């Protein structure tokens, strides 16, 4: 298995073997930006598929984090209100 790094320009992503320095310089000259991820894969297509999986999972994690940060204060407020109800006058026995 070879190690691949990725270059991205707009919506295009290219996988390049880490040892292929000539192609790396060509892509940089064309305006591609090197991405952080490096992956070991059998071929370029498998490396690109794995890269897309990683990016998709990062987007899902980001959305879930944002939804959690919105929902947690609501849940806290609801818990405080229910605590008030159970400790308040409405449910005290006489």
In this structure, what token pair is assigned to residue 62?
Answer: 């980001």
Least Cα distance to 3 among 41, 53, 49 occurs for 41
* pTM of this structure: 0.66
Within 13 Å and on the Cβ side, how many CA atoms surround 59? 6
Running DSSP on this structure, what letter comes out for residue 15?
E
> Model confidence over 1-43: pLDDT tens digits?
899 999 999 999 999 999 999 999 999 999 999 999 999 999 9
Percent of the chain beyond pLDDT 90? Answer: 59
Least Cα distance to 42 among 82, 4, 88 occurs for 4
In the three-class reduction of DSSP (H, G, I as helix; E, B as strand; rest coil), residue 2 is classed as strand
């Amino acid at each position: 298995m070879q190690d691949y790094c990725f270059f991205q320009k707009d919506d295009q992503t290219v996988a390049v073997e880490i040892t292929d320095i000539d192609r790396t310089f060509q892509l940089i000259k064309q305006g591609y930006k090197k991405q952080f991820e490096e992956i070991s894969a059998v071929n370029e297509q498998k490396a690109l598929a794995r890269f897309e999986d990683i990016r998709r999972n990062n987007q899902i994690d980001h959305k879930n984090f944002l939804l959690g940060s919105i929902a947690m204060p609501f849940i806290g407020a609801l818990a405080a209100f229910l605590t008030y109800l159970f400790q308040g006058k409405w449910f005290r026995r006489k």
